[in-house]
Amino acid sequence: MRMKNEKIDQAIQGYFDHLSIQKNLSDSSISTYSDDIKSLVTFLKENNIKNFSKVDRKNIRSYLVWLSENKIDRSSISRKLSVLRTFFRWMLNEKIILENPVPSRISIKKEQKLPRFLSIDEINRLCEIPSINQGIAEHIVFRDRAILELFYSTGIRVSEMSGLNLQDIDFSSKTLKVIGKGDKERLVYFADLASKSLKEYLTKSRGKLSRNISSDKKAFFLSDRGNRISIRSIQDRIKKYTKISGLDNKVHVHTLRHTFATHLLNGGADLRVVQDLMGHSSPYTTQIYTHVTALEARKSYFSAHPLSGKDK
C-alpha cells in the first residue's frame, strides 16, 4: 500500500519539477497548482483510491461534485479542472497512466455576478464628499471632484483616467480622447457638471500642483508632487471618499464605470452606443448591464404596481 502512496507523491513531485524547470513557472504559480492537486489527492484518499492509474472518468465527475458540495465556487472548480487536464496529460505523456480520465469537453459554467452600481443619490453624495471641511487642501478638493465627476460622466477606466493628457480634452465639443485596451483610441463625451469641475481644476488647482520645474507638462491630472497621478493613487482616493460617504466597502473605481453604463441604459441609451462609449470590443460584455436594468425594472414594478401583491 505504501508503495502506491509513494507513487502518487513521486508523480506530483515529478510534475512540479516539470513546471519549474521546463515550463519555468514561478513559485506562486506552482503553489496554486499544488493546492489544486492536493484537493484531488484528498478526494482520492476519502474514496480509497491510491494510484492515479486507477482514476477513471466517473471518479473525475464525482470529484467535481464533491468540490461543489464542499462550497467551492464555480470559478475555482473551473480552474481546478484546467489544472487536472494539464496534470493528467503530462502523466499520460510520461506513461505514468495509460489513459487520460479527464473528459476533454466537460466545462464548468462560471457564475455571472451582476455588477454593483450606485443610485443617483449615492453617486451625487460621493461626488460632493471632497471638501475643505474634510481637512483636504483646496487644490486637492478641486482635482478629486473633477476626477469623480469625470468618472461618472464618461465611464472611462482608471488607467484611462491616469493616462489623460491636456491635449485630450476639448471643452468646445465636450469630448475626451482616451487610449483604451489594445491602444485603441476612442472619443467619449462629458456633461456640463463635469465640464465645470474640469475647468475649476485647471484654473484653481493644476497650477499649484505643477509648481515644480520637474512637473509633468502633458498630464492632465497631477499628483501632490506634480507627477502624473498614478492608478494606485486614484484608487486610494476613491476608496477614501467611499468610506467617508458611508457606502459599503465593495464600492471601488470600477463601480463608477458600472454606474455610468447602468444609468445610461436606464435612461434609454442604445446598447451599441454604450458599448462604443465604454470601449468594449464585444456587445456581449455590455449586455450584462441590461440584466441589471431588468432587475431594477422588476424591483420597481413589484414595489409600485397596485396588483403586484406587495402587501402580501
Report the catalytic residues.
157, 181, 254, 257, 280, 289
Helices marked H in the chain = 2-17, 27-46, 57-69, 74-93, 120-128, 138-154, 158-162, 192-204, 206-209, 231-245, 253-266, 271-278, 283-286, 288-304
Which residues, 6 or more positions from 112, have their beta carbon under 8 angstroms from its beta carbon? 288, 291
Which residues, 6 or more positions from 203, have their beta carbon under 8 angstroms from its beta carbon? none
Collapse the DSSP code of 250 into the 3-class scheme (helix H, G, I; strand E, B; otherwise coil) and give the result. Answer: coil
Contact yes or no for 43/58 (Cβ under 8 A): no
Contact yes or no for 278/286 (Cβ under 8 A): yes
Neighbours of 162 (CB within 10 A): 20
216, 59, 209, 84: which is closest to 146 by C-alpha? 209
